[in-house]
Amino acid sequence: MKAVVQYEYGSADVLDLVEIAKPDIGDDEVLVSVRAAGIHIGDWLVMNGLPYMIRAMGYGLRKPKNTVLGTEVAGRVEAVGTNVDQFQPGDDVFGWCTGAFAEYVAVSEDALATMPTNVTFEQAAAVPISGFTALQAARDKGELQAGHKVLVVGASGGVGTFTVQIAKSLGAEVSGVASTRNLEMVRSLGADHVIDYTQEDFTESEQRYDVIIDTAGNRSLSQLRRALTAEGTLVIVGGSGGRWLMGTGRSMGAALSSPFIGQTLRPFISSPNKPDLLALKQLVESSDVTPVIDRTYPLDKVPDAMGYLGDRHTQGKTVITV
């Protein structure tokens, strides 16, 4: 089968389309014929081996443990292991995995669900990891309730577009921060208010929010706290910074300072799980959430797609079609 592989860390130049063996499946696994694979910023970070601290603890110190990238998948079941009872060949499924940038991938049965009935393979592939992040940030860490005033920073990005819609589904009054060209798109997702960060600094405004979900990572904790109510909650999703710590440095600062102030500062890393995948499926099928796709690329153009993602100007998600 064809797959996009990397044997060293670096820019998109380290990626190659090659022929490798079709994966074998275990007793609890499903062989999926990949129709589409979502890309998120975590894929770009793994490709580059960033941040260095996480590389040492996670995906390989000197070279990648997994040579095929891609963690969001949608496709058709080709075969199932002997213990699999939820799926059968021919089922259309979506979920999370390792190695989605390929024609086939072996996926745990517990990491898949049948596809929402009202979306394409491309839309379904855009959901899992970014959707998990948005759902858990808003529902669990932000503890959003109806009537809360919530600010989504980076509202036009892969996670931000899901966060705006999920926050609205929870009954919040949503404000989205984005650039001029993305304001109408963010408003179309249901945002009650939009803020053009090129024209207005929300941290200098008199408006205060019950919850801020920051997916952009380019403002300090002290700046973000100015926009919170006295007992408000800040949820930090990712971030930017030096190659050693990147967003983890700001997250550690939030965790250390939170116990000593009236506001709640919560660093956050999403945790994929089957119940939340099913919750996302329900949100999509009810049309409370519609995946936003910026661009699609064929499998042989994964390096171009990763380069585009790395520019950090994506409107919604970038998706690979297989």
CATH architecture of the domain formed by 2-127+291-321:
Alpha-Beta Complex (3.90)
Predicted local distance difference test score (pLDDT) of residue 19: 98
CB environment 46-82: b (16+ within 10 A), e (fewer): bbbbbbeebbeeebeeeebeebbbbbbbbbbbbbbbe
Mean pLDDT along residues 136-149: 97
For the four alpha carbons of 217, 223, 225 and 226, in that order, the dihedral sign comes to negative
Q: Please state the CATH superfamily assignment of the domain spanning residues 130-268 in this structure.
A: NAD(P)-binding Rossmann-like Domain (3.40.50.720)
Give the tens place of pLDDT for each residue, 282-310: 999 999 999 999 999 999 999 999 999 98
Confidence class of residue 51 from pLDDT cuts 50, 70 and 90?
A: low
**Dihedral sign computed on CA atoms, order 313, 237, 126, 19:** positive
DSSP structural state of residue 115: P
Asked if residues 158 and 316 have their Cβ atoms less than 8 Å apart, the reply is yes
Among the listed residues 126, 121, 11, 106, the one whose alpha carbon sits nearest the alpha carbon of residue 66: 106
Does residue 115 register a pLDDT over 90? yes
Helix axes 128-135, 158-169, angle to 10 degrees: 50
For the chain, residues classed under CATH 3.90.180.10 are 2-127+291-321
Kindly report, as residue ranges, where domains of CATH 3.40.50.720 are found in the chain.
Answer: 130-268
Q: Considering the chain, what is the average pLDDT of its residues?
A: 92
pLDDT band at residue 248 using 50, 70 and 90 as cut-offs: low
| Residue 159 pLDDT exceeds 50 | yes
